[in-house]
Structure formats: C-alpha cells, structure tokens
Structure 1
C-alpha cells in the first residue's frame, strides 16, 4: 500500500503531498521510504502506526527512532519517540479528524472496530504513536 502511494506521489498523481519518512531497513540497512500523515497538537508533531505490524514501525524501533522526514522537498533529521499508551490515547482520539480516510482504512483492515475517537483511543498500546522531534 505505501509503495503505491509513494509511486503516485512521485508521479504527481496525488492531490496532496504526504511527508515521507526514510529509515534504514532493520536487516538490510537499505533506506526505506514510507509516506505518512503527520499530525500536530500543541506545537508538537506526531505520527500514528495505524497498522501495528508495519515494517516502518519495526525499522524505526531498530534504528533507535532516528530517521529523516521529507516534507515539501526538505529533508529533516528527526527522532521518533514512542509514547506510552496513556500519552498516546488522547492523540489517537484526535486521529479521526486528522486523517478520516486513514482511520477508515484501519477499520476496514480490522485494526480498530469503528472510526470514532473512542474506538481509536481504545487502540492505545496496540497502535504506536510517535512524537516527531528535530534531531540535533
């Protein structure tokens, strides 16, 4: 799915531009690119792992959270800090307003039971949430 979005974005076929996270593959070390939705809350950015077994999540964890986030043609070294379930729940509760289509895909895949804020908050501890910090 992400490869398809990435190809569409590179071909100029999307009506919007998604930020692209690049992180080394956990086994190969080869840079892996994944388009992601980045949300903001209180001046901080965050990303949600809507599919908990996704390779990008495992790669980020293996890389100690270090990655590069490309937004609007600009590469930014970042540190992704995984939040505990208690800190993640309020952000997950807001996720349906950040990316309604993404939440529908999560529901359709059986990750969450519904597209409501309560259903997303119930996924805290299952769907990881990462705070995006600028890496020094």
Structure 2
C-alpha cells in the first residue's frame, strides 16, 4: 500500500466546499455525490464530495489524492453512505487490489480528468496499461456494493 497523499490547497478546499454544497442541495457536478463515512477514531460522520464511477455495471470510488482521511476512515468503517439532495444510499466498500485497478483508473481518467487529472502526474486515459499499473498503488480504489 502506497503512502502517497496530495494535500489540498486553499483553492481545492473552496472548490470541494462548493461541489459539496451543490451536491447536497441536489445540483451534483457531473454525477458527484457526498460521501459520508464514520471517523475511525471519533465515530462521527465525516463528509466529502466524491466522483463515483460505474465500470461494466459496477460502482467504484477512486481516491485521486491517495491516502486521504476518507480512505483511511472507509477502510476501518467498511462502508458508508452516498448522499445527494436528501437521498441517502448506504453501501459496503471492498478495496480493489492494485493488479485490478488499471481499467478502473483508465475509465476514471476518461470521465474525470478535467477535474482530477493533475493528480495523476502525466498519466492520462491514453497512457499504456503498464504505466497505469505502475501508478496504481498510489490510488486507492473501492468497489461499492449498495445495500
């Protein structure tokens, strides 16, 4: 497991707040959702906007910044909620092994590179499978099983 983490800038924090607010009131940006997961120490609900991705009928969450707090909390909690405008969908999360991430990361980059491509250090949706597989350990991916 890679310890890669990209700290949010002040601009990122403002952007995430705006996206989170818009999603909360029912105006999700390109399908974004608010992820709610219990804090691993506090047990309190923690929220952040995320970009769920469906690949071959399966829903995934990708952490473009790496080992974020939501990733660490989700590993401990084992699940959480996806929220949009008062609708709450509970889920169980299963972390995807590094060897299985390349097609998911490629699809994620196709869908969301306009927003998160800068976190992928020059790798994009057209990069060779080998290059995507090489960076995969730095990008946690979770399969979302809706309850």
| TM-score bin (small chain) | 0.7 to 0.9
Stretch moving more, 43-52 or 72-81: 72-81
Task: Give the structure 1 partner of residue 9 of structure 2.
Answer: none
CA drift of 1:121 comes to: 4.2
Task: Give the structure 2 partner of residue 34 of structure 1.
Answer: 48
SS where residue 91 of structure 2 aligns? strand
Q: Deviations over 1:70-125 (max 9, x none)?
A: 24542111011100011111111222211122332414xxxx33334435443211
* TM-score normalised to structure 1 length: 0.80
SS where residue 43 of structure 2 aligns? coil
1:130 aligns with 2:142: yes
* TM-score normalised to structure 2 length: 0.75
RMSD value over aligned CA atoms? 2.4
CA drift of 1:129 comes to: 0.8
Q: Is the 8 A contact 1:89 1:121 kept in 2?
A: yes
Count of residues in Structure 1 that have an aligned counterpart in Structure 2 = 130
Q: Which runs of 4+ in 1 moved over 6 A?
A: 11-14
Task: Give the structure 1 partner of residue 122 of structure 2.
Answer: 113
In 1, the alpha carbon distance for the partners of 2:37 and 2:122 equals: 30
Task: Give the structure 2 partner of residue 95 of structure 1.
Answer: 108
Alignment of 1:5-84 (within 5 A): 5-10=19-24, 16=30, 18-63=32-77, 65-71=78-84, 73-84=86-97
Gaps of 5+ in 1: none
CA drift of 1:61 comes to: 0.7
Q: Deviations over 1:12-42 (max 9, x none)?
A: 7875552111001111111011111111111
Q: Is the 8 A contact 2:117 2:124 kept in 1?
A: yes
CA drift of 1:67 comes to: 0.4
In 2, the alpha carbon distance for the partners of 1:11 and 1:70 equals: 10
In 2, the alpha carbon distance for the partners of 1:7 and 1:101 equals: 20
